[in-house]
Amino acid sequence: MMLAIPGVLQGSTLDHVRALLRDAEWIDGNATSGHQSALAKKNRQLPEDSPAAREAGNIILDALGATPLFIAGALPLKVFPPLFNSYGEGDGFGTHVDNAIRIKRGSDFRIRSDLSATLFLTDPADYDGGELVVQDTLGTHAVKLAAGDMILYPASSLHHVTPVTRGERVCSFFWIQSMVRDDGARQQLFELDSAIQTIAADRGQDDAAIIRLTGVYHNLLRRWADA
Ligand code: NI
């Protein structure tokens, strides 16, 4: 499942994150690549432990925790501390698959990457190219979102970033280990949750059928989740 999540960062929070990144020191993006992706990648990245990456990353983690659509769609167990990359003119990232296990350098933090996330931080009018292109079982999807918006997609998918031909594209990217490992099961839970919320808006949370459906949701989650 691919899920666009609008407005993860907004207003002064978005401005603050962008200002942190503007003033930060960037390094060659291959510092964090696995072997296969290092062959295909050309961009810059913030060092994982740089003060700017940590501060901006914590702002994003807080924002994710306050975004119900992210919680419902990802059912997150663990979120990798957000990383940041920048693609200038001529930069891009060829087709690759993300590593299954991500380990935070210098720590014992490790996750299985079930979902990949890209949070766009540059206004799309300010650059050309730089689309995130994701191949899944339904075809090929090119994604370029407004600054502050985020796309969630299966980490198992082949994907690439098309070359930037004008301007600079700055994004945050990271991975999520979901409580529900199976993408199809997670998608059904999301559909059920979304439908319950829609009906509950008309009938109220205390409607008898809504209570039963909510029970079904939680009992499926109990059956499928690792927490
Ligand atoms: Ni990737």
* CATH of segment(s) 3-178: 2.60.120.620
* CATH of segment(s) 183-224: 4.10.860
- Residue 182 clears pLDDT 80, i.e. is over it: yes
The average pLDDT across 139-166 equals 97
Q: What is the pLDDT of residue 34?
A: 59
User: Ligand 1: distance of its center to the CA of 61 in Å?
Assistant: 19
- Residue 87 clears pLDDT 70, i.e. is over it: yes
- Residue 37 clears pLDDT 90, i.e. is over it: no
Q: What is the pLDDT of residue 14?
A: 98
CB count in 10 Å sphere of residue 182 = 11
- pLDDT, one tens digit per residue, over 183-225 is 999 999 999 999 999 999 999 989 999 999 999 999 999 999 9
User: Ligand 1: distance of its center to the CA of 201 in Å?
Assistant: 37
User: Ligand 1: distance of its center to the CA of 210 in Å?
Assistant: 39
Arithmetic mean of pLDDT over the chain: 95
Task: Please check whether residue 181 is in contact with residue 78, taking contact to mean a CB–CB distance below 8 angstroms.
Answer: no
- Residue 32 clears pLDDT 70, i.e. is over it: no
- Listed residues: CB within 5 A of ion ligand 1: 98
Q: What is the pLDDT of residue 38?
A: 61
- Rounded to a whole number of angstroms, the CA Rg of the chain reads 18
Domain positions in the chain: 3-178, 183-224
DSSP secondary structure of 152-164:
EEETTSEEEEPPE
- Residue 137 clears pLDDT 90, i.e. is over it: no
Q: Tell me the C-alpha distance between 117 and 67, whole Å.
A: 14
The average pLDDT across 138-161 equals 96
DSSP 220: H
